[in-house]
């Protein structure tokens, strides 16, 4: 019988600068997920503590807006095996033009790269199969029509059912 692991992907929470609290639906999704991925720009250590308390497993990095306290607790790049899926997380990937090629070269032994920084949802694949996902932001939509995060499943090492959730 196939094994399925539920992922929740988020980034750029910017608490308390862009919002005072996280949306309730996101908090519920964090608790329901098997693995939670946060691609940086927490801004507040309390938000990291909240994720740590709610998530069964947290894979996270710091972003460019995170100060020394968060940088002391989180790596710049995180890597994890999620039931055979090779996951990497980083905050910034550079300009959109050429992103797939650059990331495939930088993360050659990776199946899924989750990133943030732009607050713009992104879902593409590089030649060779690397999947790139940016879940947008649940608190600072910038030029996007809605606040967002993503969910996905990993079934026997394969990423399936990627969904962009609009808040």
CA–chain centroid gap for 41, Å, is 11
**136's tokens:** 């947008």
This prediction has a pTM of 0.97
* DSSP-derived 3-state class of residue 100: helix
The H or E element containing residue 41 is none
Give the integer Cα–Cα distance in Å for 146 and 148.
6
Are 109 and 119 spatial neighbours (Cβ–Cβ below 8 Å)? Answer: no
* Cα→Cα distances 71→16, 41, 64, 101, 113, Å: 18, 10, 10, 28, 20
Domain extent listing, the chain: 4-166
* Cα→Cα distances 74→52, 90, 94, 98, Å: 12, 11, 20, 27
Render each residue's pLDDT in the chain as its tens digit; 167 residues.
778 999 999 999 999 887 889 999 999 999 999 999 999 999 999 999 999 999 999 999 999 999 999 999 999 999 999 999 999 999 999 999 999 999 999 999 999 999 999 999 999 999 999 999 999 999 999 899 999 999 999 999 999 999 999 99
Q: Which fold has domain 4-166?
A: Purple Acid Phosphatase; chain A, domain 2 (3.60.21)
């Amino acid at each position: 019988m196939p094994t399925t692991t539920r992922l929740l992907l988020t980034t750029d929470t910017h608490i308390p600068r862009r919002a005072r609290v996280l949306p309730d639906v996101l908090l519920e999704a964090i608790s329901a997920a098997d693995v939670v991925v946060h691609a940086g720009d927490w801004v507040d250590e309390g938000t990291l503590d909240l994720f740590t308390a709610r998530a069964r497993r947290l894979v996270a990095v710091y972003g460019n807006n995170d100060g020394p306290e968060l940088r002391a607790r989180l790596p710049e790049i995180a890597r994890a095996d999620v039931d055979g899926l090779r996951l990497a997380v980083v905050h910034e990937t550079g300009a959109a033009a050429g992103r797939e090629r650059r990331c495939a070269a930088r993360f050659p032994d990776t199946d899924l790269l989750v990133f943030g920084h732009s607050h713009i949802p992104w879902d593409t694949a590089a030649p060779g199969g690397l999947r790139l996902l940016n879940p947008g932001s649940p608190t600072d939509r910038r030029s996007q029509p809605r606040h967002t995060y993503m969910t996905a499943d990993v079934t026997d090492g394969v990423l399936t059912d990627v969904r962009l959730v609009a808040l």
